[in-house]
Amino acid sequence: MAHKHLQFLDLARQQPDKTSVRVRLGNWNEVYGHYAPEAAAAQSGRCLDCGNPYCEWKCPVHNYIPNWLRLVEEGRLFEAAELLHQTNSLPEICGRICPQDRLCEGDCTLNDGFGAVTIGSVEKYIADEAIAQGWRPDLSEVRDSGKSAAIVGAGPAGLACADVLLRGGVSPVIYDRYPEAGGLLTYGIPPFKLEKRVVLQRRKLLEEAGARFVLGTEIGRDIPFADLLAQYPAVFLGMGAYTYIRGGFPGEDRPEVCDALPYLLSNIRRVMGEAGGDGFIDMRGRRVAVLGGGDTAMDCVRTAVRQRAAQVTCVYRRDEANMPGSRREVANARDEGVEFLWNRQPVAVTDDGVRLARTELSPPDRDGRRRPEVVAGGEETLAADRVIIAFGFTPSPPPWLPEFQIQTDSRDRVRTSADPHPFQTTNPKVFAGGDMVRGSDLVVTAVLEGRRAAEGMLGFLGI
């Protein structure tokens, strides 16, 4: 056996077992399985325990990755869970849906030829297994301040904000327009990536710790925002980004064209057995074209193949190396029968399908991004019965913000400042974070901003 720091020479990178394509296309269950304790310990032991861990710096919440890998290797599961929760309020969720290949694992020292440590799968193992064995956050030293705060939006930013407020002795009350907590974790991300029991479990943990949820309630419609400001000394806004980005080409308004979020939402509500809401959008027997190259596009193509679409094609205007989505999700989609058309830009939707122009990429700009440029004379038509637009989302600020002196910028993002308190808006009592501040981004960045906003709220409340 090699020396501890050379274990990677004897043990290859090994993810948990993955359900076969034949089986997974017949249900909506998560694709990836779970480590047994022995496998989690062995894979954790591959870590080199770098003195200046690149994985930790690349992680938006700066998880103490080598530290909790070592605890898992030593069998100290509850200690690992406690340490993990010091930096991440939703580890069981981030372990499932973070694009680790572009974040922590992408910067792992072993990623250069030996195979990165399976950080995401170990993170999921820690949270799932510890909770299953009875671990709960240790709040025994928390002193109740007697204060409460309102949170508008039960998505990742709001849930993370609630977690940190609870640890600071403030009781959060979380309002959301949907009938269940989670925001896009519940209603936007398909269950084959994130089963909804996982989100429900996190809600239960927060309720056990003292959080209260008021669901199926829209602020500004069912309860005036003025009532929250009158009732609570501080309010957090984490209402996400729900406005679809359009392509601006002819045919976008044709009846066979739909946007990604209504499509995903209608399917998830059907799978969850929820009545009402948007009408179910079924792709059975259809030739489906999904326009876009991010994780939302991958969610759409993988949903369509499970709905038994006749053909599913993803169209993206850059090449595979320059797409923004998770490489893992692209690989899963390809395994499941999705076809990809790279370097194609939609120019119109017609009776015959989607008319596409060929593109080539410019040299990298200052940020390293390469712009697609249309190649003259390279048009073609992709036959399609249904077209899904998955170009991303922008914030959807509620119309009542100006009434309460909460300012937004030219891109409809809520303006916040770090001075005097992190993520404080132009109304001192109101804080905000996540997609409505940053624009559409990763779940883990929403978690980070919800946590930092909660720290700002605690400072504002004098705690």
228 and 280 belong to one structural domain: no
| 273 contact partners, CB below 8 Å, separation of at least 6 | none
> Phi and psi for 266 in degrees, rounded to 5?
-65, -35
- 236 residue type, one letter: F
279 and 297 belong to one structural domain: yes
Domains contained in the chain, number = 3
**pLDDT on residue 1:** 44
pLDDT at 3 over 60: no
250 and 384 belong to one structural domain: yes
Of the candidates 132, 162, 184, which is a domain's last residue? 132
Per-residue DSSP letter, 397: -
**pLDDT on residue 6:** 67
pLDDT tens-place string over residues 434-444? 999 999 999 99
pLDDT at 7 over 80: no
pLDDT at 15 over 90: yes
403 and 383 belong to one structural domain: no
Of the candidates 389, 410, 436, which is a domain's last residue? 389
Is 419 within the bounds of a domain? yes
104 and 157 belong to one structural domain: no
157 and 233 belong to one structural domain: yes
**pLDDT on residue 366:** 83
34 and 19 belong to one structural domain: yes
Is 140 within the bounds of a domain? no
285 and 356 belong to one structural domain: yes
349 and 434 belong to one structural domain: no
pLDDT tens-place string over residues 18-62? 999 999 999 999 999 999 999 999 999 999 988 889 999 999 999
> Phi and psi for 41 in degrees, rounded to 5?
-65, -45
380 and 423 belong to one structural domain: no
pLDDT tens-place string over residues 143-164? 999 999 999 999 999 999 999 9
What's the CA gap between 140 and 378, in Å, rounded?
A: 66
CATH of residue 90:
1.10.1060.10
Distances (CA, A) of 56 to 12, 83, 380: 22, 13, 45
Strand duo 393-394 + 311-315: pairing: unpaired
Is 384 within the bounds of a domain? yes
CATH of residue 353:
3.50.50.60
Strand duo 372-382 + 353-361: pairing: antiparallel
User: Does the N-terminal peptide bond of residue 420 adopt cis geometry, omega within 30 degrees of 0?
Assistant: yes
**pLDDT on residue 368:** 79
pLDDT at 276 over 60: no
Counting residues of the chain whose pLDDT is more than 70, the rounded percentage is 97
pLDDT at 8 over 90: no
Of the candidates 362, 389, 416, which is a domain's last residue? 389
On average, the pLDDT of the chain sits at: 95
pLDDT tens-place string over residues 399-416? 999 999 999 999 999 999
Is 138 within the bounds of a domain? no
Is 141 within the bounds of a domain? no
pLDDT at 75 over 70: yes
pLDDT at 278 over 60: no
Q: What is the pTM of this model?
A: 0.95
Is 216 within the bounds of a domain? yes
251 and 373 belong to one structural domain: yes
pLDDT at 277 over 70: no
Average pLDDT over residues 88-102: 96
409 and 384 belong to one structural domain: no
Domain membership of residue 116 as a residue range: 4-132
Is 117 within the bounds of a domain? yes
Q: Are 353 and 382 in contact (CB under 8 A)?
A: yes
pLDDT tens-place string over residues 200-254? 999 999 999 999 999 999 999 999 999 999 999 999 999 999 999 999 999 999 9
What's the CA gap between 15 and 446, in Å, rounded?
A: 26
pLDDT at 179 over 60: yes
